[in-house]
Structure 1
Amino acid sequence: MLLRLRVSLPDRPGGLGQVAKSLGALGADILQVTVLEREAGRAVDDFTVSWPGKVPASEARERLSAVPGVRVEGVWVTKDVPGSAPDYDLLMHVAMEPARGFATLVDALPGLCGAEWSLALADGAVRHASLAAPAEFFLPEPPPRAITRDADPLRLMLLPVLTQSMHVVVARAEGPVFHRAEVERAARIVDVVARMAARA
């Protein structure tokens, strides 16, 4: 099973090694580490690990939380295969069929963002939806620009497409709220797709 763990830790020599050692003691194989943030003496990192089925994810949270200065911000199942380039694959598909750009984007975003579903909303109606997305969705007024909010039990990312009078919504049921680095990456992808689709 592949898991993603978001960990906040002291940004000092040996901090990352302590987390890696704790994961190794649990039998987890670290496949990828992504640094999301380094500020004020702390780092926020996402670890993608191959997780032994016999060890519950809650034990990872407990063990890592026991490391001095470490905070576990989220543990969730992921389908993101380390070493793959799904964002490039998405853009290639859109380049081949730009008229289907937003439908392709909405289908791909859950995998890109470690989320459950996404949809594109315009004039109050769902225009495109991935699997598991609701048939209806209501934005707050006025809709925010590229931020996240807690909407129990979902964590939502709302991304405007100004050229199309549309919003793209991405929802995560497990794990933490979307980090600003995730929001910025998704916003750039949405902007590129919007430009490509506009030329179709």
Structure 2
Amino acid sequence: MILRLRVSFPDRPGALGQVARVLGTLGADILQVTVLERETGRAVDDFIVSWPGTPSAETVRDRLSVIPGMRVEGVWPTRETPGAAPDYDLLRHVAAEPSRAYATFVDAVPGLVEAEWAVALSSGDGHLIHRSWQAPQELDESGGLVGVKIGDLTPLRPAVLASGPYRLMSLPVPGVSLHVVLARTEGPPFHRAEVDRANRVLEIVSTIAS
């Protein structure tokens, strides 16, 4: 089973190697490591691993608890292909058809940051403009996202929100009365590194679309 593990551990020499050794003794094959954060004496990394069987998140946390100072922030199945460049693929499709720039972004951006779905909402009244095919049908036309309304969305900067079962990311589109909202139910809240990545791509998309 291919899993993404988000772990926080003391940022000291040899700590990353210790995590890798423990994963190896558990039979997990590390496919990719992404550094999300290095500050305040701790590191936050994402590991994509091939784990034998279908372990529960609790099992993975228990196995990694042998490492002093280790915190497992999330364990969830991943669709990401290690070594792929979905950012470039998304921008290539946007450049090929600029008139559909924002729809293309909404369709493809979940794959950039391990979101399950995305929607584009009007910043004025919260009207649903476009949804990715994975978005649940219960989203209402006034922008209701299981309790999140347009007034909850920050108008000028990206933000991380939570509502019911969802972890949400809110991205205002530069120069356009539009908000893109991404959601996932598995894994931890979006990390600021994920928000920054999605927002940088959106800024390029808005430049192409203008």
Does 2:38 match 1:38? yes
1:163 to 161, 175, 183: 175
How far has the Cα of 1:97 moved from its partner? 0.5
TM-score (normalised: structure 1): 0.94
Q: Could you say which residue in structure 1 is the equivalent of 2:190?
A: 178
Q: Which residue number in structure 2 is paired with residue 192 of structure 1?
A: 204
Q: Using the alignment, how far apart are the partners of 1:171 and 1:183 within structure 2?
A: 12
Query: 2:81 — aligned with what?
Result: 81
**Percentage identity across aligned positions?**
61
- Secondary structure in structure 1 of the residue aligned to 2:133: coil
1:103 corresponding residue in structure 2: 103
Of stretches 41-50 and 55-64 in structure 1, the one that deviates more from structure 2 is 55-64
Question: Which digits, 9 at most, give the CA deviation of each residue in 1:13-67, with x for residues without a partner?
Answer: 1111111112112211101111100111100000011121254342111111231
Unaligned residue ranges in structure 1 (runs of 5+): none
User: How many residues were matched structurally?
Assistant: 198
Deviating more after overlay: 52-61 vs 127-136: 52-61
- Aligned 8 A contact 2:126 2:150 in 1: no
Distance in structure 2 (CA, Å) of the matches to 1:160 and 1:115 = 17
C-alpha separation between the residues in 2 aligned to 1:13 and 1:107?
41
Question: Does residue 130 of structure 2 align to residue 120 of structure 1?
Answer: no
Residue by residue over 1:40-95, the C-alpha shift from the partner in whole angstroms, topping out at 9 and shown as x without a partner, is 11000000111212543421111112310110000111101010000000000000
- 8 Å contact from structure 1 (residues 90, 104) kept in 2: yes
Query: Structure 2 CA distance, aligned partners of 1:98 and 1:164?
Result: 15
Moved over 2 A (4+): 54-58, 134-140
Unaligned 5+ runs, structure 2: none
Structure 2: distance between partners of 1:118 and 1:85:
19
In the alignment, residue 124 of structure 1 is paired with which amino acid? G
Query: Are 1:26 and 1:55, in contact at CA under 8 Å, matched by a contact in 2?
Result: no
CA distance in 2, matches of 1:54, 1:152: 26
Segment of structure 1 superposing worse, 60-69 or 173-182: 60-69
Judge which range, 59-68 or 160-169, deviates more: 59-68
* CA RMSD after TM alignment: 1.4
Q: Normalised by the size of structure 2, how large is the TM-score?
A: 0.90
Deviates more, 1:127-136 or 1:153-162: 127-136
- Per mean C-alpha deviation after superposition, the further-off stretch among 118-127 and 90-99 is 118-127
